[in-house]
Amino acid sequence: MSGAPDPAANAAPMRLNKFLSETGVCSRREADKWIAAGRVTLNGTQAGLGTRVAPGDQIRVDGNLVGPKQAPIYIALNKPVGVTCTSESWVPNNIIDLVGHPERIFPIGRLDKDSEGLILLTNDGDIVNAILRSEHNHEKEYIVSVDRPISDLALRMLGDGVRIMGRLTKPCRVQRIDRESFRIILTQGLNRQIRRMCSALGYKVRRLRRVRIINVHLGNLAPGSWRDLSAAELEGLLPAAGGVHPPAAD
């Protein structure tokens, strides 16, 4: 007597980096690095960047078996100063230890160790690059305090674009808060961009706090605390990241 067909048995092979991201162990970009470094095996053999995974294949990272895809997790954290945005457990004061989530998650992008505020974490590798791609023009909003009164001219220059690292930053929205602080909304994320922009104009950043990513606001979330994203936040965030949606509940 034959049983019902198993859909998984007929599933098409997928690229290894996509498989790893869908299981929630890392993003696709990080998966490529792990594969290139020889940390990933397929059925006991070192995998390559073009490797495809078929149903029944056994995937290991550093000898640890990688399981099936997990339910998607999306959380918001108010990162304090001094915490490093890395999933590497050997790094002191890393963001994963701070969150202490029972499932394996990783940050979407980063905030410098000496910066604070909103950062998103997930186990959904597909959403990471979609949110981080500069061509999508996703907004990130910051409140910045500098070491001395900032002039109206400097604020206009920040908004028009500042040359850092050999390139001109994209135009952005800047609004004064008081003599030494301002609000800035970026659509790109160069390395230490705001600090470099301020430095180029002769100012030193005293405090940098991110308060919004796309439609997700920091609100009154306490430093070091995190929360799951609401249904309304996901409804706006996931389409902005390219139409990625969590699976429907059973």
Contacts of 18 (CB under 8 A, 6+ apart): 28, 125, 126
| DSSP per-residue letters across 1-46 | ------GGGGPPPEEHHHHHHHHTSS-HHHHHHHHHTT-EEETTEE
DSSP structure class, residue 242: T
Contacts of 119 (CB under 8 A, 6+ apart): 76, 77, 79, 85, 95, 107, 108, 109, 110, 111, 210, 213
What is the distance between the alpha carbons of residues 122 and 130, in angstroms, rounded to a whole number? Answer: 13
Say which of 112, 124, 178, 228 is annotated catalytic: 112
126 belongs to the catalytic site: no
Q: DSSP secondary-structure letter at 136?
A: G
Four-CA torsion 149, 153, 156, 162, nearest 10 degrees: -90
Looking at the annotation, which residues are catalytic? 112
